[in-house]
Amino acid sequence: MDAHGEDEATNHKAWLHVGVLLAAAFSLFVAITYWVLYIPE
């Protein structure tokens, strides 16, 4: 716990989870973008 009562290890874990979530989301968005723009129907 830090001076504000925050559990730093848990907080780092939460940031890591959010980072992985957003990285996965952007990877999916970029993949869909390429599919829409460059793969003909």
Partner 1 sequence: MFGLPEDFLQSHLIEHWIGTYRWVWPVSEVFHFIGLILLVGTVAILDLRILGIGKRIPYSNLAPLMPWAVLGFILCVVTGLVFVTGLWANVQMLPMEALAIDRFLQLKFIFIGLAGINLLLFTYTPVARRIDVLAANEEAPASAKVMGAASLVLWVGIVYWGRLIPWGL
**How many angstroms separate the CA atoms of 41 and 39, rounded?**
7
| Measured CA distances, 13 to 1, 8, 34 (Å) | 14, 9, 32
Token pair of 4 as six digits: 């504000």
Residue 31 CB, nearest distance to partner 1 (Å)?
Answer: 12
Residues that bind partner 1 (CB under 8 A): 4-7, 10-11, 13-15, 17-18, 21-22, 25-26, 29, 32-33, 36-37
Residue 22 CB, nearest distance to partner 1 (Å)?
Answer: 7
Residue 7 CB, nearest distance to partner 1 (Å)?
Answer: 7
